[in-house]
Amino acid sequence: MSETKSILGSSPLRKEGRPKVLGAAQYIDDLTLPGMWHGATVRSTIARGTIRSITFAPHINWSEYAIVRASDIPGENAIVHLPKDHPCLAAREINHVAEPILLLAHPEKSALLAAKAAIHIDYDELPGIFNIEASEAAVAAFINDPNDTDNIIWPGSSEGGTPNCFKNYQMYTGEAAPTESALVEAFEAADFIVEGEYTTGAQEQLYIEPNGVIAECDLDPVTGHVRGVTVRGSMQCPYYLVHALTLVFNLPEEKCRVIQVETGGAFGGKEDFPSVIGSHAALLAMKSGHPVKIIYDRGEDMAATTKRHPSRTRLRTAVSRDGKLLGGTIDVAIDGGAYATLSPVVLSRATIHAPGPYKWPHLRVRSKAMATNIPPHGAFRGFGAPQSLFALERHMDKIAYTIGFTPEEFRRRNFLSTGDHTATGQPLVEPVDMHHLLTRALADSGYHAKRAAFAESNQHSRIKRGVGFAAFMHGTGFTGSGERRLNSLVHLDILADGRPQVLVSSTEFGQGTNTILCQVAAEALHLPYDDILIHEVDTAAVPNSGPTVASRTAMIVGKLVERAANEVLATLRTQAALPTPHTREQFIAAAQRHHAQQGFLRASVRYEPPAKIFWDDDLYRGDAYPGYAWAVYVAEVAVDLNTYQVQVTRFDALQEVGRVLHPILAKGQIEGGIAQGIGYALYEKCVYKDGHLMNNQMTNYIMPTSADLPDIHVTFEEVPSLHGPGGAKGIGELPMDGPAPAILNAIENATGIGFNSIPLLPEDVYERLTSLTARPHGGAEDLNPVVDQATRTESPEVNA
Segment interacting with another protein (CB under 8 A) among 171-179, 241-249, 581-589, 664-672 = 664-672
Q: How far is the CB of 615 from another protein (least distance, A)?
A: 33
Question: Is 205 a binder of another protein (CB under 8 A)?
Answer: yes
Question: Is 264 a binder of another protein (CB under 8 A)?
Answer: yes
Residue with smaller CB distance to another protein, 196 or 210? 210
Residue with smaller CB distance to another protein, 206 or 248? 206
Residue with smaller CB distance to another protein, 509 or 620? 509
Q: Any residues with CB less than 8 A from the CB of 571 and at least 6 apart, and which?
A: 594, 601, 603
Q: Name residues contacting another protein, limited to 268-307 (CB under 8 A).
A: 297-299
Residue with smaller CB distance to another protein, 588 or 641? 641
Pick the binder of another protein from 77, 164, 203, 263 (CB under 8 A): 263
Question: Is 704 a binder of another protein (CB under 8 A)?
Answer: yes
Pick the binder of another protein from 762, 782, 784, 788 (CB under 8 A): 762
Q: How far is the CB of 733 from another protein (least distance, A)?
A: 14
Q: What is the 3-state secondary structure (H, E, C) of 7-50?
A: CCCCCCCCCCHHHHHHCCCCEHHHCCCCCCEEEEEEECCCCCEE
Helix, strand, or coil (residue 95): coil
Q: Does residue 107 have a cis peptide bond before it, meaning omega lies within 30 degrees of 0?
A: no
Residue with smaller CB distance to another protein, 543 or 738? 738
> H or E element: which one contains 125?
strand 119-125
Q: Any residues with CB less than 8 A from the CB of 637 and at least 6 apart, and which?
A: 465, 466, 467, 468, 646, 647, 648, 649, 743, 746, 747, 750
Residue 280 class from Cβ within 10 Å (0-12 exposed, 13-18 middle, 19+ buried)?
Answer: buried
Segment interacting with another protein (CB under 8 A) among 68-76, 206-214, 386-394, 554-562 = 206-214
Find how far residue 741's CA is from the centre of its chain: 17
Residue with smaller CB distance to another protein, 30 or 150? 30
Segment interacting with another protein (CB under 8 A) among 64-72, 202-210, 329-337, 544-552 = 202-210
Q: Cα separation of 449 and 224, whole Å?
A: 75
Q: How far is the CB of 209 from another protein (least distance, A)?
A: 4
Residue with smaller CB distance to another protein, 574 or 706? 706
Report whether 674 contacts 735 (CB < 8 A): yes
**What string marks each residue from 71 to 110 as x (binds another protein by CB under 8 A) or -?**
---------------------------------------x
Q: Name residues contacting another protein, limited to 9-68 (CB under 8 A).
A: 11, 13-14, 16-27, 29-30
Report whether 655 contacts 723 (CB < 8 A): no
Helix-strand-coil percent breakdown of the chain, rounded to 5?
35, 25, 40
Total residues contacting another protein (rule CB under 8 A)? 79
Neighbours of 147 (CB within 10 A): 8
Pick the binder of another protein from 9, 510, 626, 730 (CB under 8 A): 510
Segment interacting with another protein (CB under 8 A) among 355-363, 467-475, 522-530, 694-702 = 694-702
Segment interacting with another protein (CB under 8 A) among 74-82, 118-126, 219-227, 636-644 = 636-644
What backbone torsions phi and psi does residue 153 show, to the nearest 5 degrees? -100, -10
Complete DSSP assignment for 231-267: EEES-S-HHHHHHHHHHHHT--GGGEEEEE-B----T
Q: Cα separation of 277 and 280, whole Å?
A: 5
Report whether 541 contacts 468 (CB < 8 A): no
Segment interacting with another protein (CB under 8 A) among 177-185, 318-326, 418-426, 687-695 = 687-695
Segment interacting with another protein (CB under 8 A) among 62-70, 444-452, 554-562, 665-673 = 665-673
Pick the binder of another protein from 763, 771, 779, 793 (CB under 8 A): 763
The distance in angstroms from the start CA to the end CA of the chain is 63
Q: Name residues contacting another protein, limited to 139-198 (CB under 8 A).
A: none
